[in-house]
Amino acid sequence: MVLAKSKKSVGLGNQLMKDRFGKGKGTDQRRGNAVTRINHATGEQYVTNDKEEASWVKMRSVTEQGALDEFLATAELANTDFTAEKTNNVQIIHPSQQNRFLLSSTQEKAVRSKHKQLKHKLEVPRRPKWDKTTTATELDMLEREAFLEWRRNLAELDEVEDLLLTPFERNLEVWRQLWRVVERSDIVVQIVDARNPLLFRSEDLEDYVTTIDLKKKNLMLINKSDMLTERQRKIWAKYLKEHDIEYRFFSAALAKEENEKSEEDSDTEGEEEESESEAEAPVAETVEGSIPQASKKVLQDLLVESSIAGEPETRTPEVADVDIGILTIDELQEMFLTLAPARDYSERKLAVGLVGYPNVGKSSTINALCGAKKVSVSATPGKTKHFQTIHISDDVVLCDCPGLVFPNFAATKAELVCNGILPIDQMREYIGPVGLVAQRLPKAYLEAVYGIKITTRPLEEGGSGVPAAHELLDAYARARGFYTTGHGTSDESRAARLVLKDYVSGKLLYCEPPPGEEDPSDFNRELYTLNNIPARRRAEILNALGALSVEDADMVTLSEASIRQKGDKSNRLDKDFFGPGGSASHVNRPFNHKYSEQGKQLSSKKAWQLSTLEQNTDLKDIRLSGKKHYKGNTKGKKKALRNAED
Ligand SMILES: Nc1nc2c(ncn2[C@@H]2O[C@H](COP(=O)(O)OP(=O)(O)OP(=O)(O)O)[C@@H](O)[C@H]2O)c(=O)[nH]1
């Protein structure tokens, strides 16, 4: 039986034709993916593969493009025929570009000196000049042309000079937002990550701001400063002062806690006096106060273990008059008012533009300034998409720009991944970035944070003492039971993602020193104390170490802990670590502001520890008192004795 076809039914072919050439398609005519548009400035028709998209789609951040996308985007920007642009845009892959994940130290030196020479070429795109007579279409054309020229210049740095650049923003719409923010703001605040401030700073943006209006001010706000020690802040402060960079240290996370605390305090009755004095304490002091004196003991043994030759210097720069404090919210607001350029503010409030890479903490800073959660905060870079204004007081309005990556030099792709600039979830090559983590962080610290034991290749077999990426990943994956399905080998790729995320979030902490200042391992020395590993891990280590009071334990170096771990024939420490739930610890900020709370948690164990202490009054004896995990480990004993004597 043949069914009669309904006249109303529409076949796929018809539907496609209707979709492409049907009514209501405006001036655009579609053929396949290509759309014919009219250039209103010249009246000419041109073909593009771009669709008219919703404004939020237009604002998508474009940082890395495949060769074809790059080519199409350039052609589209240039409003030209594809073939005309084709010859100019063929990408030549240099053999040297193929492995940019890690460099040897000589290669790195050479690259860094080339960066210095060509620094002036790292420009942000300028908005072309316009006046009242310029029509919107003319301005649009001018902007596209200028943007295209800017992209060509940067492509030259990449291709001709063979230098690796940050995956800078390639979407004109995002830069247009920045232009608006800069034009509107009296002060342009570049928010940077304290772990590597200069990588996140655009010097040229500062020039651009003052080119638009000499009265406009620049400020580098070093966010996440809770991750820096006081000494590290001093070293940075000295460098920034010497280079005439207007800066301030800030921590949106500490400011948030401060907000929450004062809210709690205002809710609590009867304890006003006490809570008031705490709330008034400057944040910087709170941070310092949170790190017990004992934790400032430098981990010399750890450094020796990390094969760093020589006695590290503990010298702190003389910077008596420089500002090293972490600003409170009130102090930051005052700072804005102090910096405000002279003009009549009766008509318009002081406008403060907030600019920065994705994930540096713009939203968190705004939330802290607002005193409430106004902007959604996320651990995924690139959440803020639109320029928005937020009135934080009667005097100040904030202009929040979408997070955007500025053109800057990077030594390697590994550095970009580790700094959270290249997304970890889209990463295919993980050995380079994890290798960098393993190079930067002392082995004992990695072992203590994760509660793992990393087996490295012995020195006599060519090992260097520094774990190779796969040695770290293998230990991590096995401890957590991550195995590949087919082969049953450890799932290093899964482990790599988690390790790198911990590095980006600061759970594994490393901070870059200013250029030309001290060696990175000396600069970070204070970070690798027992106090800075997650509280739970610390408690586990202390448990495994046995009879030490909390205060004494602060003096125990991680390396010592790791020696004991190695020497433990009964594997007691490992069992403690790898037991159920043993890997679930979590910390956001190694310099946990709530140290006193951690201390409290630990002190619940103190009674037991003290009772053991009573039996072993001599600390050296306690350390070497024939605990199970020392038995037969004479080498470990000797080393531990040396540590104890130090
Ligand atoms: N330790 C620490 N972490 C912070 C601080 N400020 C922000 N973070 C963390 O950094 C991550 C990114 O913060 P956001 O405020 O979302 O960053 P953003 O710059 O607004 O990001 P986009 O919206 O992508 O532009 C979050 O995981 C925050 O918890 C800080 O002062 N200290």
pLDDT in tens, 528-569: 887 777 777 777 777 766 644 445 544 455 555 554 444 443
Indicate the residue type of 62. V
526, two tokens: 């204070």
387, two tokens: 């320029």
Which of 551, 553, 555 has the alpha carbon at shortest distance from 541?
A: 553
Residue pair 578/479 in contact (Cβ under 8 Å)? The answer is yes
Judged by average pLDDT, the poorest of 100-104, 141-145, 444-448, 501-505 is 100-104
Q: Is 93 helix (H, G, I), strand (E, B) or coil?
A: coil
Residue 410 pLDDT grade (very low, low, confident, very high; cuts 50, 70, 90): confident
State which of 192, 359, 373 you would mutate to test the pocket of ligand 1, scoring each by most atoms of that ligand within 8 A of its C-beta.
359
Our answer on whether the CB atom of 423 is closer than 6 Å to any ligand 1 atom is: no
277 CA to centre of ligand 1 in angstroms: 28
Our answer on whether the CB atom of 115 is closer than 6 Å to any ligand 1 atom is: no
205 CA to centre of ligand 1 in angstroms: 22
Q: Quote the pLDDT of residue 394.
A: 86
Residue 63 pLDDT grade (very low, low, confident, very high; cuts 50, 70, 90): low
Higher pLDDT, 427 or 624: 427
Whether the per-residue pLDDT at 576 is higher than 50: the answer is no
Q: Quote the pLDDT of residue 511.
A: 95
Q: Is 214 helix (H, G, I), strand (E, B) or coil?
A: coil
Report the distance separating Cα 146 and Cα 527, nearest Å.
46
Higher pLDDT, 275 or 469: 469
Residue 134 pLDDT grade (very low, low, confident, very high; cuts 50, 70, 90): confident
Which of 362, 384, 381, 469 has the alpha carbon at shortest distance from 422?
A: 381
Higher pLDDT, 224 or 411: 224
Higher pLDDT, 393 or 585: 393
CB neighbour list of residue 607: distance below 8 Å, 6 or more residues apart: none
444 CA to centre of ligand 1 in angstroms: 28
What residue's CA is closest to ligand 1, atom 13? 361
Q: Which residue has the tokens 């403690």?
A: 576
Our answer on whether the CB atom of 383 is closer than 6 Å to any ligand 1 atom is: yes
Q: Quote the pLDDT of residue 411.
A: 78
364 CA to centre of ligand 1 in angstroms: 6
Q: Quote the pLDDT of residue 519.
A: 87
Our answer on whether the CB atom of 364 is closer than 6 Å to any ligand 1 atom is: yes
Q: Quote the pLDDT of residue 403.
A: 87
Kindly give the number of the ligand 1 atom that is closest to the alpha carbon of 376.
Answer: 16
Residue pair 409/196 in contact (Cβ under 8 Å)? The answer is no
Our answer on whether the CB atom of 251 is closer than 6 Å to any ligand 1 atom is: yes
Residue 212 pLDDT grade (very low, low, confident, very high; cuts 50, 70, 90): very high
Count the alpha carbons within 13 Å of 376 in the hemisphere toward its beta carbon.
9
